[in-house]
A and B are shown apart, each in its own frame.
Chain A
Amino acid sequence: MFSPMESEAIWLSVRVATLATVFSLPFAILIAWLLARVSFPGKIILNAVVHLPLILPPVVVGYILLVMLGKRGVIGQFLHDVLGISFAFSWQGAALAAAVMAFPLMVRAIILSLDGVDRGIEQAARTLGASPWKVFLTITLPLTLPGLITGCLLSFARSLGEFGATITFVSNIPGETQTIPLALYSLINTPGGDDGAFRLMIAAICLSLLALIASEILAKRVNKTLKG
């Protein structure tokens, strides 16, 4: 059904989007909590930095990543020489680019949900003997679940579609960094690649729909408990 190149791209896309979503989730929760609940100097700056990927051209974000995390980048060199980690031209690099691009969407969804949590309910938990940390884990986080689900969906879908930052940061290497959009782009520019491009288009639609339906089902289940 799919050529090796196409199935490689599909499988890679799933891996990249999953890794990007799973790894950005804890950071997104932390940042969302800081922005929604804590007041500190420089909050405006943190807010702006988090939202940058949403307003910058993706290619610019990719270039920033390349400059910072490339083999000879400021941070990249340290990571490579000291820890032996390299993002350059690897599928982990593609996941990083996707995660950065999707991060503001995830944070925004979680903030929205956090804002909706009744502080009075958290206070009630405190009077029952729960420490702030315990309240966060047993009350706040579960009540934020609808936002977490939405945030993960947005992040996964955005990661599946990531193109500009990925191609700039980790290039278009079949089997390593060539995700569905990149493979699609290559096929369109290849004579006789139309059939492959069409198949990848169907695959992309199916993957996105699948993610959407899964998150809808989850959200419905959660809401049924919370709202009756």
Chain B
Amino acid sequence: MIEVSIDNTFGTFRLKMDFSFGPGLTALFGRSGSGKTKLVDAVAGLEQISQGRIVINDQVLLDTQKGINLPPEQRRIGYVFQEARLFPHLSVKRNLTYGMALLPANQRRHTVEEIVDLMSIAHLLERYPATLSGGEKQRIAIGRALLSSPRLLLMDEPLASLDAIHKEEILPFIERLRDETGLPIIYVSHSIEEVIRLADTMALLSDGEIAAQGTVEDVMSRLDLHPLTGRYEAGAVINTVVQGHDDHDGLTSLGCAAGNFLLPRIYVDLGSKIRLRVRARDVSLALDKPNSTSVLNVFKGVITQISPMGPSPHVDFLIDIGVPLIARITRRSCNELKLRPGSTVYAMIKAAAIDRRNTGYARTNPIDNGDENDSGDETHEHLH
């Protein structure tokens, strides 16, 4: 269990929060300027905090009341920065072993071979950072942090400075890291796609405070948080299991409590647990069951909540179709259809609107407290 409580003013910006989280990957999500980096810097000991307390599994790193403030080098917290921050004068191999070498041998949790294997970097060991691509650098940076045997790993937008292709290259490694090391991870991001793909739980940051915290599914289905999660990106996150593939039509069927979702073929094994995001703007509503329609995904449901009517031309609905679904339609349609909480509606989602980027692997093994987990993880081999 990791507890963080901070009240500190940086110039005109106040960081004030009190939150705790367990093992697994916790996403810190928020707009730029919401205080995400300040928070992880404070946890790492890179920012001086005037009032606060940080505890990792009963080990006190900071307690301003008791005058405890461990310097960064004694906190044993791994930090992967947005820019890899490799040591340019050292070879990849010496970058990797820099932190490890400072640790007594009996406290090292990984061998170089293990990490080189996990991150697939064996062919880079003799190179120097200046000759590596952005994605390669970031993999080295992750490996370097892991080899210092941290108690907690901080990742501050590790993909933000990479292009789409290199992002796709790194994501599987972060998934492996999440599933195979059992290390608690704080993952800072402003990309909802990354959060959905990687996070077990998420905390929503706004103006230096935690606005909401919980499982990704719960936080994303709260209508009141849409101004913070981003109006454009708002949408429900649904846990599903792969039911089948239709190679003839190139479709994949994902099952959940609402029934089956069809979407363009994704290359994952049957039975894999997949987290699916359905953007609110991709959902349309009808009062009667549509008979002749191109839309493949039609679910009957009941409106449970409507966002407050404002000057915005849109209205957001929370609909229970067996799982929570969010729909965004115009205010005019809402008035014409006389939609109210309790109304029965048919929600329609074009299969074509859902793509690979809106799906992510849910963790296949249960989270337990930091033990090396079992090898029942048959899916990660097929991640791409």
What residues make up the interface of A, taking CB atoms closer than 8 Å to B? 118, 120-121, 123-131, 134, 138-139, 142-143, 145, 225-228
Contact = CB atoms under 8 A, between A and B. Distances in A.
B46 to A, nearest CB: 5
B44 A228 contact: no
A118 B130 contact: no
Interface residues of B, number: 29
A139 to B, nearest CB: 6
B89 to A, nearest CB: 5
Chain B interface helix/strand/loop/mixed: loop
A129 B102 contact: yes
Contacts of A139: 87
B99 to A, nearest CB: 3
B71 interface: yes
Interface in B40-93: 44-46, 71-79, 81, 83, 85-89
A67 to B, nearest CB: 44
Interface of B: 44-46, 71-79, 81, 83, 85-89, 98-99, 102-103, 128, 130-131, 144-145, 148
Contacts of A126: 45-46, 71-73
Contact of A129 (B46, B83, B148): B148
B89 A129 contact: no
Contacts of B128: 225, 228
B88 A129 contact: no
B85 A129 contact: no
Chain A interface helix/strand/loop/mixed: helix
Contacts of B44: 127
Closest 5 CB pairs of A and B: A228-B130, A128-B99, A126-B72, A129-B102, A124-B85
Contacts of A123: 46, 72, 85
* Residue of B75, B86, B88, B99 with most chain A CB atoms under a 10 A cut-off: B88
* Residue of B75, B86, B102 with most chain A CB atoms under a 10 A cut-off: B102
A127 B79 contact: yes
Contact of B102 (A120, A121, A130, A145): A130
Contact of B83 (A120, A127, A131): A120
A6 B79 CA distance: 61
Contacts of A226: 88-89, 130
Given A123-B46, A127-B148, A130-B99, 10 more contacts: A120-B81, A120-B85, A127-B73, A127-B78, A127-B79, A128-B78, A128-B99, A129-B73, A129-B102, A228-B128
Contacts of A225: 88-89, 128, 130
A128 B98 contact: yes
Contacts of B131: 228
B130 A121 contact: no
Contacts of B85: 118, 120-121, 123-124
* Residue of B71, B74, B89 with most chain A CB atoms under a 10 A cut-off: B89
Contact of B130 (A124, A127, A129, A227): A227
